[in-house]
Structure 1
Amino acid sequence: MDRLDRKILKLVQEDATASVADIAKAVGLSTTPCWRRIQKLEDEGVIRKRVALLDPVAVNARVTVFVSIRTNSHSIEWLKRFSEVISDFPEVVEFYRMSGEIDYLLRVVVPDIEAFDAFYKRLISKIEIRDVSSTFAMEQIKYTTEMPLDYMVIDKS
């Protein structure tokens, strides 16, 4: 990848609906070479997907809850089962295996506390968990889906 690829990635992250012609113009390429670069970035998996970002209030998912989970079971079988269980919950929008005192961290979005309580009860009915701790976000101060590109390794050739 080179500096042009980085510029293209920056633009695509800002607006995935931008036309190839607009991106090409912004990075100083003609349309066909720009399109080829975008296709290559998609083929290589650098661009994984193009999506629409929805307003949580408009879709009634205004409450964000960070759920810390600790377990007594650390087998690969339990992790596979837990992953399957979590995959069935559309409220879970992020799911991480952690280091340190917390084993797993979930970001859950729901309309209200009652909906979170229902989520919690469904979760604990499906799998054994040692400890669950939930923290409700009061205000979202920064949110982005854009990856920082300053760390990209740029070809010197």
Structure 2
Amino acid sequence: MLLLLTLALLVSPTCWAHVGRPFSTPLCSNEEVKGVRMTESFTGYLTSLQVKLGENWDVVHGHKRGTLKEFNLDEGEYITEVRGCLKINLRYLVLCTNLPRCVSFGVMDTPEFFFFPPKKGQVLKGFKGSTGLLFLKSLSCIWGDVHVDPITVPPTGTNTTSSP
């Protein structure tokens, strides 16, 4: 009976709704990635990804089964390198910052892939990828320039001192 129930769930549309589904984290020119949460299955594959842009967490991409690991960046810290391993599904991911500091998710394996920004000074702004039946199937990086708030300067010729 339990086997029948399991099979019924596997062929149901809700279980298969996310299979092969592409995703992209929201892009905001004013925000860089400030945190990453990933879930790892008991077999070591990565099952979900969630990104923090500025102060806000995006939705969870993938399946929330497994052990959650979170990496938060400090003020002025940016992700400048991404590497990992893909074997049918995403197995390993390493994020390195400008401080330099690195964090790893999943289980190290081969072959490895490496992502670097196309231009010097760019940082990670988001991810694109797709989900599989149980795990993350693919992942790529979105790079961009660091957002700098403009400095406001009073117009020339204005008097900024108060009169008595």
TM bracket (short chain): under 0.3
Q: Which has the higher strand share?
A: 2
Q: Which has the higher helix share?
A: 1
Q: TM-score, normalised by structure 1?
A: 0.24
Highest RCO, 1 vs 2 (Cα 8 Å, sep ≥ 6):
1
Q: TM-score, normalised by structure 2?
A: 0.23
